Each structure stands twice: as C-alpha cells, then as structure tokens.
C-alpha cells in the first residue's frame, strides 16, 4: 500500500492536483460527477462526487434503501508551502529569484538547499470567458539557498528566518517565469491571466525499514487512507461520505474550506434528493476528522505527554483536547473504539502536554456548519510541516482497514448518548 500512497502523493503536488487525481480515482470506481450549479438527480444505490474551487471534494455513496444517517471522513488537500506572487520575478545580484510568501506554518530549514518544482492552477482567456488549467512543471526549477557557515557563524545556534529575505528561491530557467508557465498550460503568454502557483518538493517517497518518508504526508496520508477505506468498503445502511477540504493549513475560512458551507450544502442536497431532512439524519451520523498526529520524538521525548504519547506503526491515533480543539468526546471515542475493535486495528490515544498549545483540525471547524458526532483521528508522524516527513510503514494500511470498517457500519441513536453501531 505504501507504493500506492507514494504515487498518490506524487500526483498531488498541490490541493488542485490532489482533487483532480482523487476525482479520477473515483470515476474509475464508478462515481459520477455532479455540479453545484445544477440541480442534482440522485438515486438510491448511486455513487457521486462534487468539487468546489477545484481544490475541495465531497464524494458519497447511497444505500439501496433510505439511509439511517451519514458516515463521513474529512481530510485536507493542502500542505504548508510557499505561494508564488503575481509579479513573480525578482531581479537579483546573481540570477533571478521568485517572489513568494509563506502558506501555512512550515519548518523553513527543511526547504533550504532542496531542488523545488512548481504546480497549481492558472486562469486563462478563452473565446467565451475564462477557464482553469492545472500546471505541474514536475522537474526542479527553483531552490532556496542557504548562507554559507563562513558568512553566518551562528547558523547552527538557531536561525530566525526573514521570509522576505531568506526564503526567496533562486529561479533556474532561461525562459521567463510567465513564458514557462504559459507553455506548461498550453496557452499563449497573452492568454495567461492569473495564477495560484506553489513551490513543492518533487522528491519521491521512500520506504526505509519500518518507516516511510515523503513530502506532504500531512495530510495526504490520511486523504489516501480514508479514500481506500471509502472505495473498498462493503455496502451499509448509511450514506457514506468522503470529504477533502482545502485551506486547512491557513484556518479553513474560505468557500472551499471546512468553515465554508460546502459540506452542509452537499448534505442538504443529498437529503433533499432522498426526501429526508438533515436534522433527522444528523442524529444517526458520525464524522471522523482525519489529520496526522505527532509521534513521540526519539531525540526529544520531553515534548510529548508521557501518558498520551503515540508511536509510529502503533495504529490509528485518537486525539483529545479539553478545549475541544480536537472534537473527540466520550461518546465519539467509544464509537471509534468499537469500530477499531471490529477492524482488528490498534487504537492509540494522544493529547498535548498541558503546558504546550497544539493545533486544531477540520473537525471543530466543520462542526460550526453541521453538528454531528465527531472524533479527531490521524496517524503518528515525525517532523510535521517539514518538506519531507516521516511516518510508520504499517500505519497507512491500519487506517485504511479501520475506515473500511467505519464505512461498513451504521449508527442508530436510541436515546441521547445511547447508540447502536
């Protein structure tokens, strides 16, 4: 399964390619595309997907009979990187640089002295208006150079990076940036209107003993594993929903982010097509927010909560936070524990040290739009937000198996706090 994961990551250098590649895999599995701009005609036992902004996706599979609720997974399609500005070229003392700004909270040092490529989308002029084109240069064209130790004797004593100075990449092509991108999009330079383009690490994933390393494991590992669970699950009495959201790394406050209306409107339209209401369906629904977790660091175990540290190759991670930055509570934890026991998959429990703030995920954000039972899960990894991250070689398969069992289950609420699964 790890080689399939590496192929998925290689095909997904940005959120736009991740959604396009996921849509291709869904269509190969018999899923039909829908458009938000059109009325939906959905049928029992049908398989469908819809995209928004080309960077977020909701896919769903309906049972033959009226569903008792939704079983939903949500991962995100974006990763920390550098976005290329509109006026891209910066003349310099020794070559042309690209003008970039940070997207998300990356580990800057991991991006230095590494051959980088460029991918994303462009908007081009057409006879009828404008159209989106995906672009992926694939080969290295840029690099963010370090300062030699001879010129910065404090380099190994901790470096504070100035994004406007230290993180501007050297551009290696003879062609102008705009000409290169227009050629990759297959249009004349005059027809290239604007772009959402990002740097990315093109290094392929590798397996080394018990571990794997690759770019963008956060969160494409969960996106891939949940997709595998979704596509391989047998039929259940619930409507199964797979979500892939953009902009998690910058707060999700966009039309295509988890804080937007995409999920709620998709669920409402499914309910309208089935002649049911979201209010009643929600009571028998369960959403798993799938985003990787911090494995205990081999050199710095002090950063982990001793009683709630998690390990690579230890199975699915269930994440807790008293302030509900992770949505797991006793009810959703008990439901997930039941699922993992049925799947034969180990379940680890993670919490931050009480004196260290952690990040938030899609779950608590999505819950503001549609209120469901939710839990936050993930897989243990090292160096989160590095340009090259590390995880356990067995864990992708563990999550895929757990989520296959999740999608095969159905949730029925007998009373508040009492459920059949």
- pLDDT single digits (tens) 142-175: 999 999 989 888 888 888 899 999 999 999 988 9
pLDDT of residue 358: 73
- Cα(77)–Cα(59) distance, rounded to whole angstroms? 14
- Cα(228)–Cα(406) distance, rounded to whole angstroms? 12
* Tokens (6 digits) for 89: 């070229």
Mean pLDDT within 227-250: 96
pLDDT of residue 321: 87
**What class does CATH assign to 82-200?**
mainly beta
What percent of the chain stands above pLDDT 70? Answer: 100
Whole-number average pLDDT of the chain: 95
pLDDT of residue 31: 98
More confident residue, 342 or 323: 342
Mean pLDDT within 76-84: 97
Give yes or no on whether 2-79+215-420 and 82-200 have one common fold.
Answer: no
pLDDT of residue 173: 86
pLDDT of residue 19: 98
- Domain coordinates of the chain in residue numbers? 2-79+215-420, 82-200
pLDDT of residue 368: 81
Kindly give, in sequence order, each residue whose CB lies less than 8 Å from that of residue 243, ignoring residues fewer than 6 positions away. Answer: 56, 57, 58, 59, 72, 73, 74, 75, 263
Give residue-wise pLDDT tens across range 336-395.
Answer: 999 999 999 999 999 988 888 777 778 878 888 888 999 999 999 999 999 999 999 999
**What class does CATH assign to 2-79+215-420?**
alpha beta
Starting from the edge strand earliest in sequence, which strands make up the sheet with 170-171, in order?
Answer: 130-136, 117-125, 192-200, 81-92, 95-103, 170-171, 142-143
Q: Which residues, listed in sequence order, are joined to residue 76 by a DSSP beta bridge?
A: 245
Following DSSP, what letter does each residue of 296-322 receive, concatenated? PPSS-GGGS-GGG-B-TTS-EEEE--T
* Tokens (6 digits) for 381: 């990894």
CA distances from 183 to 141, 193, 390 (A): 14, 13, 35
Q: Read off the pLDDT band of 100 (50, 70, 90).
A: very high
Taking 80 as the threshold, does the pLDDT of residue 418 lie above it?
yes
* Tokens (6 digits) for 356: 């260290």
Place of tokens 């494995």: 295
Q: Read off the pLDDT band of 401 (50, 70, 90).
A: very high
CB neighbourhood size of 299 (10 A)? 7
pLDDT of residue 362: 80
Q: Read off the pLDDT band of 180 (50, 70, 90).
A: very high
């Amino acid at each position: 399964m790890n080689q399939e994961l590496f192929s998925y990551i290689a095909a997904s250098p940005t959120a736009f390619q991740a959604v396009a590649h996921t849509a291709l895999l869904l269509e190969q599995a018999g899923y039909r595309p829908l458009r938000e701009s059109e009325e939906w005609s959905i049928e029992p036992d049908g398989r469908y997907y819809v995209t928004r902004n080309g960077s977020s996706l909701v896919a769903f599979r309906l049972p033959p009979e009226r569903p008792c609720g939704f079983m939903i997974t949500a991962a995100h399609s974006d990763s920390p990187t550098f976005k290329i500005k509109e006026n891209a070229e910066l003349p310099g003392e020794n070559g042309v640089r690209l003008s970039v700004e940070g997207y998300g909270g990356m580990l800057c040092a991991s991006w230095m002295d590494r051959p980088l490529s460029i991918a994303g989308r462009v908007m081009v002029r057409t006879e009828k208006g404008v159209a989106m084109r995906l672009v992926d240069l694939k080969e290295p064209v840029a690099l963010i150079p370090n300062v030699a130790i001879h010129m910065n004797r404090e380099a190994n004593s901790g470096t504070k990076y100035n994004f406007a100075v230290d993180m501007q990449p050297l551009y290696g092509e003879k062609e102008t940036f705009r000409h290169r991108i227009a050629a990759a999009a297959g249009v004349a330079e005059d027809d290239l209107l604007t772009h959402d383009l990002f740097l990315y690490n093109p290094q392929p994933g590798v397996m080394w003993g018990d571990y794997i390393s690759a770019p963008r494991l956060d969160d494409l590992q969960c996106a891939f594993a949940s997709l595998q669970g979704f596509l391989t699950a047998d039929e259940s009495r619930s409507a199964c929903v797979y979500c892939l959201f953009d902009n998690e790394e910058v707060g999700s406050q966009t039309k295509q982010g988890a804080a937007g209306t995409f999920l709620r409107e998709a669920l409402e339209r499914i309910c309208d097509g089935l002649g049911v209401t979201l209010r009643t369906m929600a009571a028998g629904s369960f959403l798993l927010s799938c985003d990787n977790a911090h494995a205990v660091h081999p050199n710095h175990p002090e950063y982990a909560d001793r009683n709630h540290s998690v390990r690579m190759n230890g199975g699915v991670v269930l994440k807790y936070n008293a302030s509900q930055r992770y949505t797991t509570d006793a009810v959703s934890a008990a439901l997930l524990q039941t699922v993992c026991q049925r799947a034969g998959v180990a379940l680890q429990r993670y919490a931050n040290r009480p004196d260290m703030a952690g990040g938030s995920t899609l779950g608590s954000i999505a819950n503001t739009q549609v209120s469901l039972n939710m839990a936050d899960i993930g897989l243990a990894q090292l160096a989160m937000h590095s340009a090259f991250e590390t995880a356990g070689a067995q864990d992708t398969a563990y999550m895929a198996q757990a989520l296959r069992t999740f999608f095969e289950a159905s949730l029925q609420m007998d009373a508040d706090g009492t459920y059949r699964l």
